[in-house]
Structure formats: structure tokens, C-alpha cells
Amino acid sequence: MVNYLIEETLDPEDWEATRLMAHQMVDDAIEHLAHVRERPVWTPMPDEVRARLQTAMPHDPAPLADVYQDYRENVAAYAMGNIHPRFWGWYMGSSNFTGALGDFLAAVEGSNLGGGNTGASQVEQQVVDWLKEIAGFPQNASGTLTSGGSVANLVAHTVIRNLAAGFDVRKDGIASLEKPLRFYASDQVHSCHQKALEILGLGAHALVEIPSDDRQRMRLDVLEETIANDRSQGRQPACVIGTAGTTNTGAIDDLTALADVCEREGLWFHVDGCIGGVLRLSQEHAQLVDGLERAGSVAIDPHKWLHAPFEAGAVLIKDPEAHFATFEMHGPYLQMQERGMIAGKFLADYGLELSRGFRALKIWMAFKEKGAVKFGRLITKDIALARYMSDRVKAHPQLELIAPVDLNIVCFRHIAEDEEASKALNTEIMLRLQERGLAIPSDTTVQGRHGLRCAFNNHRTQREDIDGFLEDVERLAIEISSEGSV
Ligand SMILES: *Cc1c(COP(=O)(O)O)cnc(C)c1O
């Protein structure tokens, strides 16, 4: 007899030893988080470490303890550092431990959230319902969790395109469009919208960027003119994209005015709320996004200002039938049933992905444990920190703001003789801050002026971090100037 059957699994041979190892990992993780503030924000990776991470595929086994050690020494030691209280670059998230435990439990459970009559699928729908409440959307809106804001916006734009086309785009394709579709957004719009319209076959020209005013909000007069002009040129205006918190400076478009324009013109109103879609959780600042509740759809990013570990995005849509009609698809191997495992709402019918992770658990657990009110307070705190820093910059003779601070993003710079010297100096300050692990700001250009950029969506940041950061900036400016190299 041929012995073709080797009866083995991926389960540990020794559960007890694995238990000890797993406990060790949890202990180390807690130690790591409890002392995160004392470590450098980020450490550049030496070449020899990079080389160690480029080995041949491991054909043979190794003890879990060795693998873990390898991870600690060569991978974790060179993490991005966005969980550190002085990380404010770009627009990250700073995670939270309950969410991390949620991700672990979700992975152990291993459920596929494509669909299925499971507790997990119920929890995802529960989290989507909470997000509707936060955004001021009705409970009969549809929604889904996505990997992030880019896919959330893509899902919305797909539904909007199909509705605007007025024929079956899924069957006939975009070649049957009689007129080119147009989506309007301010020139501060996130780049994912252009990517989405490109993927949808509408072309980059389908995104019309409307100039913004001196507070980086979409200019309504230009919007109305452009819509009229497009109509007269035989193009079809389809959608206005309002941004609730731009990535560059945190500007919030006049959402109420945009909702009015859309109503008058018969256009879909979509809001990119990847930053500000959760602002209504903050009692003090909820009114900043008045008008959000009038949007037809909104993209929200729980991995940003709700501090969920990556990844978690979400999209909500007020036309559940159109949402379903855009993505519903079942092969012969996946037919729905009234009863049994495959009964109930099939979550993959509302987005691009069939196999989906249990992203909702990390949000659900943290919300239940901490309470939504606390998440609101953390948003309020981040906005207060941005104002604190803005005041300190204004009061400092060597520093200046390069954009108004309307939300939680501060764009500023150290003053130099001219624009060119300023860019060189501030870039060098930024790189030394990063390389020495002191803080991670990023940089940007606002209306032709380059400067450093701090986005406060980090629940660990305190005032002392900003004080220390501004001292570091000042010290580095003196150091660099004394070298005379820049
Ligand atoms: C971050 C961001 C996005 C993209 O979201 P991802 O989660 O990074 O895919 C889109 N729009 C805005 C305004 C953002 O800040």
C-alpha cells in the first residue's frame, strides 16, 4: 500500500509550550506599549538588518521562539512608530490595545466576513449601524466596512456612476455612456478619488478640481459656473464630493451649501469624511460638519480618528437598492438560502471583496469598553492640541503658520531669509527630527509656501509632547544654521 496520507496539521505539537510563548508575546506587547513614550519614535534600519530580512524561503521548520525573536530584533525594532505620542506625520492612526486584542481574537476565530449566518456578520452590521448614527445617516441606509478610505470612496463612486449612467453599466460597460460624467471636488481633494474614477474607466478628467478659497474650502461660485459650463458643453455632471477635513490642512468644505447645490442641480452629494466623518462624536465640534447628514454617501476611516488598528474603512450609502445592485454577485457555488449557514445578508454584496476579514471586532470591542463618549473627547482633545500648538507658533518670533488651523492639522515653519532657504532649513529640521527619533512631522506646501505639518489624531499625544517638539525644532534650527550647510 502506498502511504500518500501524512496526517499532520498546523496546530502546535505542544500546546503547553505554545501557551507559554503566546503569554510571553502578550507580556512583551503590554511592556512595549506601557513604555512607548520612552523610546525613539522611529529608528532607521541598518543595511545588515535589511540583509537579514532577505533570506531564501524557509523550507525547514524553526522553533516559534526563534521566529518571534527574529521579529522582535529585525522587524518590530524598525516599526513606523505611529503609535508613539510624537508621531504626527501624514495622517496615520495610533491604534489601541483593545483593538489589537480584537484583531487577535478575530484571527483566532478565523471567520470570513463575505457573509454567513454568524455572530461576526451581526457585529459588522452593528458597527455599520453605529457609524450611521455618528454620521447622522438614517438606519435604513446601507454600508460596509472596507480596508480603508480609498476603497470606501471607490465603492461609493461605483454606485454613483451606475446611478448616473441611467442604463445597466454592469452589462453594457462605460462605452455606452452618451455623455462623459463629471465629479466635482475642491483642489484639496484626496488623490484616491482620481484613482477611483480612473479605475471606473471614467478617466482622470472626470474629476474636476474646483479652486479653493484662502481657507482651502471649495469655491461655490466656481463650482456653479463649472457645472453650468459642463452642461452646455454636453458633459453630464453626476456628483459633488465635499471633503470634511482635507488631508493637507484639515479644511472642511461648506457641506450645507454643497448639499443645496446638489439639490438644485439634481446631483449626488458624496462626502469624503475619512478625517471628519466622525466629528459629530465631539460635543464641542459636531457643528463643524453640519450638512454631512444631507449627503447621499459618506466615506469614514475608523483606522484614523477612531484609533482602530489598521485596516478599517467604511462607506455608508442612502440608496441601499442601488448599492446592492452595483455589487451583488453569486456563483453557482455560492447560492443564498433561507436557512442554514448562508442565510441572512450577504456582506460581500456591498463591496469589491468576497473574502473579508473580521474588521468590525476591533471597533466593536473598543467602543463597548471605552464608550463612544470617550472617542468624542479624544477628538476634542486633538483639536485643542492643534490650537495649543497654533498659539505657541503664533507667539514665537521664529515660527509662523502657513495655513489656518481649523481642525487638528498644524502647518507651520521656521522662518528663514527667503522661500528657498526656508524649504531647505525646514526639510533638514524634519529629517533630523525623524532620524534621531525625536518626532515625526511630515511636510507640505500650502498656496506656494512650504512648511512642516503635524496632524493630531493620536490619542497618546499630550501638551508636553508639543512643548518638547517646539524646543527640538528651535534647537535644530540653530544647529543647522551654525553648520552653514543649508
Ligand atoms: C486618508 C484619506 C483617504 C484615504 O484613506 P485610506 O484609508 O488611506 O485609504 C481619503 N480621503 C481623505 C480625506 C483621507 O484623509
CATH number, domain with residue 394: 3.90.1150.170
pLDDT tens profile 75-84:
999 999 999 9
Determine contact, residues 278/241, Cβ cutoff 8 Å: no
pLDDT of residue 11: 96
Mean predicted confidence (pLDDT) in 437-459: 97
Domain housing 427: 373-483
Distance of CA 322 from the midpoint of ligand 1 (Å): 24
Does residue 34 belong to any structural domain of this protein?
Answer: no
Does residue 57 belong to any structural domain of this protein?
Answer: no
Q: Which atom of ligand 1 is nearest to the CA of 246?
A: 13
Edge-first strand order for the sheet with 409-414 is 399-401, 409-414, 449-455, 442-446
Q: If you write DSSP's letter for every residue of 264-333 in order, what string do you get? A: HHT-EEEEEETTGGGGGGSTTTGGGGTTGGG-SEEEE-HHHHT-PPS--EEEEES-HHHHHHHH----TT
pLDDT tens profile 106-162:
999 999 999 999 999 999 999 999 999 999 999 999 999 999 999 999 999 999 999
pLDDT of residue 345: 92
pLDDT of residue 1: 61
Q: How confident is the model at residue 3 (pLDDT cuts 50, 70, 90)?
A: confident
Q: How confident is the model at residue 279 (pLDDT cuts 50, 70, 90)?
A: very high
* Same domain membership, residue 326 and residue 397: no
Distance of CA 153 from the midpoint of ligand 1 (Å): 9
Mean predicted confidence (pLDDT) in 418-443: 97
* Same domain membership, residue 390 and residue 365: no
Q: How far apart are CA 330 and CA 347, in angstroms?
A: 12
Beta strand 207-210 with 181-186 is parallel
* Same domain membership, residue 141 and residue 275: yes
* Same domain membership, residue 439 and residue 357: no
Q: How far apart are CA 137 and CA 296, in angstroms?
A: 9
pLDDT of residue 6: 85
Mean predicted confidence (pLDDT) in 339-367: 96
* Same domain membership, residue 212 and residue 172: yes
Give the single-character DSSP code of 142. E
Q: How confident is the model at residue 2 (pLDDT cuts 50, 70, 90)?
A: low
* Same domain membership, residue 229 and residue 283: yes
Q: How far apart are CA 270 and CA 258, in angstroms?
A: 10
What's the one-letter identity of residue 118?
Answer: T
The whole-chain average pLDDT of the chain stands at 97
What's the one-letter identity of residue 424?
Answer: A
* Same domain membership, residue 382 and residue 347: no
Q: Which atom of ligand 1 is nearest to the CA of 244?
A: 13
Q: How confident is the model at residue 484 (pLDDT cuts 50, 70, 90)?
A: confident
Query: Which of 150, 154, 186, 194 gets mutated to test ligand 1 (max ligand atoms within 8 A of its CB)?
Result: 150
Query: Which of 186, 274, 292 gets mutated to test ligand 1 (max ligand atoms within 8 A of its CB)?
Result: 274
**Ligand 1 cavity residues, CB under 6 Å:** 91, 148-150, 190, 192, 243, 247, 272, 274-275, 301, 313
Domain boundary among 323, 340, 370: 370
* Same domain membership, residue 268 and residue 158: yes
Name the one residue in this structure whose C-alpha cell is 455608508: 316
| Structural domains in the chain (count) | 2
pLDDT of residue 45: 97
Closest by CA to 243, choosing from 221, 212, 199, is: 212
Closest by CA to 399, choosing from 350, 342, 466, is: 466
pLDDT tens profile 385-410:
999 999 999 999 999 999 999 999 99
Does residue 356 belong to any structural domain of this protein?
Answer: yes
Q: How confident is the model at residue 291 (pLDDT cuts 50, 70, 90)?
A: very high
* Same domain membership, residue 379 and residue 366: no
Distance of CA 482 from the midpoint of ligand 1 (Å): 39
* Same domain membership, residue 173 and residue 191: yes
Domain boundary among 333, 352, 370: 370
Determine contact, residues 277/301, Cβ cutoff 8 Å: yes
Least confident segment among 58-62, 341-345, 349-353, 454-458: 341-345
Domain boundary among 370, 390, 421: 370
Q: How far apart are CA 49 and CA 45, in angstroms?
A: 7
Closest by CA to 466, choosing from 439, 445, 431, 427, is: 439
* Same domain membership, residue 268 and residue 221: yes
Quote the cell numbers at residue 397. 518670533
Q: How confident is the model at residue 485 (pLDDT cuts 50, 70, 90)?
A: low
Does residue 165 belong to any structural domain of this protein?
Answer: yes
Percent of the chain with pLDDT over 70: 99
Give percent helix, percent strand, percent coil of the chain, each to the nearest 5. 50, 15, 40
Instruction: Give the CA distances from residue 233 to residues 180, 181, 236, 355, 380, in Å, rounded to whole numbers and listed in that order.
Output: 10, 12, 9, 43, 46
* Same domain membership, residue 436 and residue 302: no
Mean predicted confidence (pLDDT) in 211-224: 97
Closest-CA residue, ligand 1 atom 15, reads: 247
